């Protein structure tokens, strides 16, 4: 359905490359999401993962994940956080990692097989599945549901949360992170894309959840009791110009950049780098702002 909508949009918005826009991770239907994320799997490790591990670990601490026995991780991608948990959890009995992309799951499995120091007492399984419908998980099966950087991309976030509520035990906790476009990397890129004529063709703004009050209301509206919610930052490693190029090409917004013609690409890159150098000169840590929330299914 979304593909048909995209085909009807003017080419100057789509840059003649509608599929590339999927890299901007807007709300995609299941097949489109799967195809999009499969296409991202091989570069995931060197682009997204450099950003996303830190907020996931903060979220795990907020969830007191170490105390829990049955955990589900939704949107595990290529498994860096999965492996972190498998190496560090000591009280857990079962742990399930789910992602909609079969290629992400294949890479995560290969990585797990090559990793030392895993706690093999944990019964851990990978599943290819959609967060909005995980019929392979029984009702009230887990006491912690953790999902970093996913809910903002699904077609229906209430369906996502209702499914989470179904599989959580009463009193179980959910932890989510979402990106914010304010400040940092995301804002820098989006501002420059918009300055050069890019307008999102998608009906849904995927940054719309990146505010504390929005996330608190969303969780409350879906019957959760909110325990913590705060802004966090993905602390980026020390970035060189080549890291900016890698993010522009392979990172979360790479599809938008890939859609510009050569001349506009150069303009965007030059300007992004100019602003990035200014930030560096002022010794402002380069980062990406996120919102992290922990809530409970009522007893």
Ligand X SMILES: C[S@@+](CC[C@H](N)C(=O)[O-])C[C@H]1O[C@@H](n2cnc3c(N)ncnc32)[C@H](O)[C@@H]1O
The residues that touch ligand X, with contacts defined as CB under 6 A, are: 33, 37, 48-49, 52, 56, 74-75, 77, 98-101, 104, 130-132, 148-150, 153-154
For the CB of residue 278, give the shortest distance to ligand X in the complex, in Å.
Answer: 28
SS3 per residue for 80-126: HHHHHHHHHCCCCCEEEEEECCHHHHHHHHHHHHCCCCCCCCCEEEE
- Give the residue with the Cβ less far from ligand X, 154 or 248: 154
- Give the residue with the Cβ less far from ligand X, 30 or 271: 30
- Give the residue with the Cβ less far from ligand X, 104 or 168: 104
- Give the residue with the Cβ less far from ligand X, 24 or 101: 101
For the CB of residue 48, give the shortest distance to ligand X in the complex, in Å.
Answer: 5
For the CB of residue 186, give the shortest distance to ligand X in the complex, in Å.
Answer: 12
For the CB of residue 63, give the shortest distance to ligand X in the complex, in Å.
Answer: 14
- Give the residue with the Cβ less far from ligand X, 29 or 266: 29
For the CB of residue 132, give the shortest distance to ligand X in the complex, in Å.
Answer: 6
**Smallest Cα–Cα separation from 275: which of 253, 254, 248?**
248
Q: CA-CA distance, 173 to 175, in Å (whole number)?
A: 7
Give the H/E segment covering residue 290: strand 287-296
In sequence order, what are the residues at sequence separation of 6 or more whose Cβ sits closer than 8 angstroms to the Cβ of residue 124? Answer: 82, 86, 94, 95, 96, 97, 112
């Amino acid at each position: 359905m979304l593909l048909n909508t995209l085909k009807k949009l003017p080419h100057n918005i789509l840059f003649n490359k509608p599929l590339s826009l999927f890299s901007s991770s807007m709300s995609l239907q299941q097949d489109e999401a799967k195809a999009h994320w499969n296409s991202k799997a091989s570069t995931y490790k060197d682009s997204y993962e450099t950003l996303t591990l830190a907020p996931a670990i903060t979220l795990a601490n907020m969830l007191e994940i170490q105390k829990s026995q049955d955990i589900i991780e939704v949107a595990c991608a290529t498994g860096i956080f999965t492996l972190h948990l498998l190496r560090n959890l000591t009280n857990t009995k079962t742990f399930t990692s789910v992602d909609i992309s079969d290629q992400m799951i294949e890479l995560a499995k290969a990585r797990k097989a090559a990793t030392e120091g895993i706690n093999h007492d944990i019964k851990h399984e990978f599943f290819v599945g959609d967060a909005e419908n995980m019929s392979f998980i029984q009702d009230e099966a887990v006491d912690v549901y953790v999902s970093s950087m996913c809910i903002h991309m699904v077609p229906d976030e209430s369906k996502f949360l209702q499914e989470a509520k179904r599989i959580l035990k009463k009193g179980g906790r959910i932890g989510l992170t979402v990106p914010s476009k304010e400040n940092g990397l995301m804002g820098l890129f989006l501002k420059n894309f918009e300055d050069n004529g890019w307008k999102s063709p998608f009906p849904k703004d995927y940054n719309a959840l990146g505010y504390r009050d929005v996330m608190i209301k969303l969780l409350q509206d879906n019957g959760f009791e909110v325990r913590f919610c705060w802004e966090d930052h993905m602390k980026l490693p020390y970035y060189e110009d080549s890291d900016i190029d890698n993010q522009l090409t392979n990172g979360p917004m790479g599809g938008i950049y890939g859609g510009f013609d050569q001349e506009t690409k150069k303009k965007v890159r030059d300007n992004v780098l100019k602003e990035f150098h200014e930030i560096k000169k002022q010794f402002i840590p380069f980062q990406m702002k996120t919102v992290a929330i922990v809530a409970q299914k009522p007893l």
